[in-house]
Amino acid sequence: MSRATLYSFRRCPYAMRARMALRYSAIDVAIVEVSLKAKPAEMLALSSKGTVPVLQVDGRVIDESLEIMHWALALHDPQDWKLRDDAQGQALTAALIEENDQVFKLHLNRYKYPERHPEHPAAHYRSEGEVFLRKLEGLLETRPFLVAGHLSLADVALLPFVRQFAHVDRDWYSLAPYPRLQKWVQGLLDSELFVAIMAK
């Protein structure tokens, strides 16, 4: 396999989860940091969507973060992030990622930019997002990670979005009734993997 190229933006949650999977899977990848105001022509030539992440490898272009994660894990998954022999875990993973990407992300965007959605105050959008936080808090009651006793695809796919939600109002978050979720977030943010993919 020739060296892969990833067009990325450091703080984009979709790009974060792609970078975490690529690093975990030990894929040799050149990361091109993209300015969202001046997207490189070579990236736009690969993917007309104009959004990061975009992975180019061996003549193939993958421009969906989840697809990049699955591609990487299919090559190398030493700690079984994909929960190969756990059909129930795989189903829960898929359901959590779908709810995160389709529902929670919508509330997150509105909570983060309430001025763009003046129909309701920020607190309303936050409470809508809390439905998902409560679900995650419940999952963490019986285990240290969301789906299994170890880190898996669900944790890595959701972390960047929960982190972003937490950072909108850190004072509120620090006092919010989600002790297990807060511990889960902090543990992952302190992990060698996350620290490495966020290095400038």
pLDDT in tens, the chain (200 residues): 778 999 999 999 999 999 999 999 999 999 999 998 899 999 999 999 999 999 999 999 999 999 999 999 999 999 999 999 999 999 999 999 999 999 999 999 999 999 999 999 999 999 999 999 999 999 999 999 999 999 999 999 999 999 999 999 999 999 999 999 999 999 999 999 999 999 98
Q: Please write the tens of the pLDDT for every residue from 140-179.
A: 999 999 999 999 999 999 999 999 999 999 999 999 999 9
In the chain, ranges of CATH 1.20.1050.10 domains: 87-194
Buried b (16+ CB within 10 A) or exposed e, 80-119: bbbbeeeeebbebbeebbebbbeebbebbebbbebeebee
* Average pLDDT over the chain, rounded to an integer: 97
* Overall fold of domain 4-78: Glutaredoxin (3.40.30)
In the chain, ranges of CATH 3.40.30.10 domains: 4-78
pLDDT at site 78 = 98
- Residue 122, Cβ density class (10 Å: 0-12 exposed, 13-18 middle, ≥19 buried): middle
If you classify domain 87-194 with CATH, what class do you get? Answer: mainly alpha
